[in-house]
Amino acid sequence: MMIAGYEIAAIEARAAREARADIEDFHNLYCNTLDLGDLALWPDFFTEDALYVVIARENVEANLPAGLVYAEGRAMIRDRAFAVKNTMMFAPRYLQHFVSNVTVLSIAGEQIRSQSHYLLLQTLVEGPTTIQQAGRYYDTFVRGGKQLLLKERRCVYDTTLIANDLVMPV
Amino acid sequence: MFSSETVIHPPGSSPKERELRTYRWPEEGLAVIPDWIYTSQAIYDREMESIFRGRTWNYVALEAEIPKPGDYLRSYVGATPVVVAREQDGSVHVFENRCAHRGVEFCRQARGNASEFVCPYHQWSYDLSGNLQGIPFKRGVKGEKDSGMPAGFRTEDHGLCKLEVRILHGVVFATFARDMESVETYLGAEILKDFEVVFKDRKPRILGYYRNELPGNWKLYHENLKDPYHATLLHSFLVTFGLMVAGNKSKMIADPSGRHGTMASAKSDDVMKAVDAETQQQMRSFRTDLKLADRRFLEFMREFDSPWSVTMQTIWPNLIVQRELNTLGVRQIVPNGPHSMIMMWTMFGYEDDSEEMTRHRLRQGNLMGPSGFLGLEDNEAIKFLQEGVRRSPGERGVLLLGGTNEGTADTLASEASIRAMYRNYREVMGL
């Protein structure tokens, strides 16, 4: 599977290491925020014009665009955060995100592209801890002041058959 | 978690299971629903035989998914795996995904293009219509005795199990029954009308797929979409943004047989103006504090010749046709034992959509599906219902809204369509 624009480019080793450290810091903060349930802070990880999509690998491979979640712009991301936090009915749950294999793909000025693997574990009340999704992040970061911001995050999941539903952001 | 991961009182541990012949529908008739129709393996087995392998047209695919000769996809009729394939002459064929030799489920790719199907185990090969074409060593190994098939073996007697196929406005249906009525007759005029709004003279363009396991009995999905009562209570989004509100113009349409239904409603622009204070108060999910930061999401581009902004069609036994504003999709129900179903979603637009229209449909797709603002609430509610009927010792649910009426209702506060569905169900099932 290859998403156009996410090819591996030749990057100078030191620059790649620095970018990777920044991205890993970003992932840690992002996952910590979501896993603690601070959904109101979730939109702050994105640029105003960001694209956020959670999409099945089978769709990506077939060049089909429909995502489980498809948000164009931070406003739509904020709407989802608000709905999940305040209006949607679902059973209580805990989530833990694990991110690994962070690979810097390209650096062009202030823009960095990377891919990372993720594993999303979910625990329901009186239920076991189970794998909710296994997938990859295809990320485009820009530097917003000191920190990185997501201009694009495509969460491409292998877990084609979803266990009931996907409530929390990936 | 999947239903198979349930630790406490897992599916299959039901103390309610009895012998099939001992199940009697309660005397109160359709005013109550006995729990065992959702929990019993014996009932489920009879449903597979009498409904899904009986006199029903089952959705298997959209033609747009298999436009070219040789295109195929994996699908299901009831719980039975089938393959849908387009022949060289353009005709569409449906056959069981089970090799006639030893029963191997031979087709493994979700979708693809092939000139023939070859079972990987012993390489029996079939054409795109499901006819057996070749068997390795049919005549045996040269010079060896008692080798190969017996002299009387005829390949034409060992094809794949084929189903009858009909295509209506690009929607492919299949049946195990012979001499079925036409799909139009099966749907009936009431249902055909809104079906044609979505499909007639339109060329769908596939936008993508979702699949999920829903840990509930397959009939609950039909009930949910024949139950406009829940729509205005469970779903904050529908209510707050006026997609479907008690007091607005809406209708729950049933066909004369009671099997099929269309839940229809017309969005009004200033929704709460027309709704009186008492009705508002009844809807706890009405949230004055819920305001969208991005309003594009709920825009409705008028593109259909229909008074309804939403029609959710339940086409017995395995198809949902979703038209909610500009988001379109079909959902295929695959029963997976009494306590589970697989939902296969195909989202689409139309071939003549502009780039912006496609993006509009994708944005609006956030309403439905396993992560949809509405969609996931249904999945949760159905799961909770299944757990309730499986785990608690109670025996029945109550279906009293709208009195004893069965069929079409002009009010949202009615369960008349669910009763109509179960009248038909009881006849077919002999209950």
- For position A114, what pLDDT does the model report? 98
Q: What is the CA radius of gyration of chain A?
A: 16
pLDDT band at B303 (very low <50, low <70, confident <90, very high): very high
CATH number for the region B60-167 comes to: 2.102.10.10
What percent of chain A has pLDDT above 90? Answer: 91
- For position B267, what pLDDT does the model report? 80
Which residue from B215, B287, B381 is facing A87, i.e. has the nearest CB? B287
Q: How far apart are CA B239 and CA B229, in angstroms?
A: 12
CATH: 3.20.20.70, 3.50.50.60, 2.60.40.1120, 3.90.380.10. Which one for B188-429? 3.90.380.10
Q: How far apart are CA B58 and CA A44, in angstroms?
A: 47
- Please check the confidence at residue B288 and state whether its pLDDT lies above 90: no
Q: Do residue A166 and residue B359 have CB atoms under 8 angstroms apart?
A: no
Ordered strands of the B132-134 beta sheet: B117-118, B125-126, B132-134
Span B344-366, average pLDDT: 97
- For position B393, what pLDDT does the model report? 87
Residues 6+ apart with CB under 8 A from B49: none
Query: What Cα–Cα distance (Å) separates residue B63 from each residue in A12, A64, B71, B173, B229?
Result: 50, 17, 10, 10, 34
Hey, what are B423's tokens? Answer: 């009248």
- For position B116, what pLDDT does the model report? 98
Beta bridge partners of A113: A106, A140
- For position B233, what pLDDT does the model report? 87
- For position B243, what pLDDT does the model report? 67
Query: What Cα–Cα distance (Å) separates residue B47 from each residue in B24, B207, B338?
Result: 16, 33, 10
pLDDT band at B286 (very low <50, low <70, confident <90, very high): low
- Please check the confidence at residue B16 and state whether its pLDDT lies above 80: no
Domains by residue range for chain A, with CATH:
13-157 (3.10.450.50)
Q: How far apart are CA B258 and CA B197, in angstroms?
A: 21
Per-residue model confidence as pLDDT tens digits over B103-161: 999 999 999 999 999 999 999 999 999 999 999 999 999 999 999 999 999 999 999 99
Q: What is the nearest CA distance from B26 to chain A, expressed in angstroms?
A: 32
Q: How far apart are CA A112 and CA A137, in angstroms?
A: 13
Span B217-231, average pLDDT: 95
Q: How far apart are CA B382 and CA A166, in angstroms?
A: 15
DSSP string computed for chain A: ---TT-PPPP--HHHHHHHHHHHHHHHHHHHHHHHTT-GGGGGGGEEEEEEEEEEEHHHHHTT----SEEEESHHHHHHHHHHHHHT-----EEEEEEEEEEEEEEEETTEEEEEEEEEEEEEETTS-EEEEEEEEEEEEEEEETTEEEEEEEEEEES--EEES---S--
Q: Are B84 and B172 in contact (CB under 8 A)?
A: yes
Q: What does pTM read for this prediction?
A: 0.95
Q: What is the nearest CA distance from B75 to chain A, expressed in angstroms?
A: 14
Determine if the peptide bond prior to A128 is cis (ω within 30°). no
Q: Predicted ipTM?
A: 0.96
Beta bridge partners of B324: B310, B327
- For position B293, what pLDDT does the model report? 85
Query: What Cα–Cα distance (Å) separates residue B185 from each residue in B143, B175, B189, B285, B410?
Result: 58, 14, 8, 40, 24
Per-residue model confidence as pLDDT tens digits over A41-87: 999 999 999 999 999 999 999 999 999 999 999 999 999 998 898 88
- Please check the confidence at residue B9 and state whether its pLDDT lies above 50: yes
pLDDT band at B271 (very low <50, low <70, confident <90, very high): very low
pLDDT band at B287 (very low <50, low <70, confident <90, very high): low
Minimum mean pLDDT range among A36-45, A80-89, B20-29, B280-289:
B280-289
- Please check the confidence at residue A99 and state whether its pLDDT lies above 80: yes
Q: How far apart are CA B126 and CA B93, in angstroms?
A: 12
Closest listed residue to residue B217, CA positions, set B14, B428, B423: B14
Minimum mean pLDDT range among A109-123, A132-146, B189-203, B292-306:
B292-306
Which of chain A's residues have a Cβ under 8 Å away from the Cβ of B366?
A: 69-71, 76, 80
In this structure, what is the dihedral angle of CA atoms A2, B331, B347, B230, given to the nearest 10 degrees? -120
Q: Do residue A166 and residue B376 have CB atoms under 8 angstroms apart?
A: yes
Q: Are B240 and B267 in contact (CB under 8 A)?
A: no
Interface probe, candidates A129, A165, A166, A167, chain B, greatest B C-beta count within 10 A = A165
Q: Do residue B213 and residue A163 have CB atoms under 8 angstroms apart?
A: yes
Q: Does A158 touch chain B if contact means CB atoms closer than 8 Å?
A: no
Q: Do residue A87 and residue B381 have CB atoms under 8 angstroms apart?
A: no
Which residue from A75, A130, A160 is facing B294, i.e. has the nearest CB? A75
Instruction: Give phi and psi for A136, each to the nearest 5.
Output: -130, 140
- For position B188, what pLDDT does the model report? 97
Domain boundaries, chain B: 60-167, 188-429
B:225-264 residues touching chain A, CB 8 A cutoff: 234, 236-237, 240
State which residue of chain A sits closest to B383, comparing Cα positions.
Answer: A164
Closest listed residue to residue B208, CA positions, set A52, A66, A162: A66
Q: What is the nearest CA distance from A1 to chain B, expressed in angstroms?
A: 16
What percent of chain B has pLDDT above 70? Answer: 93
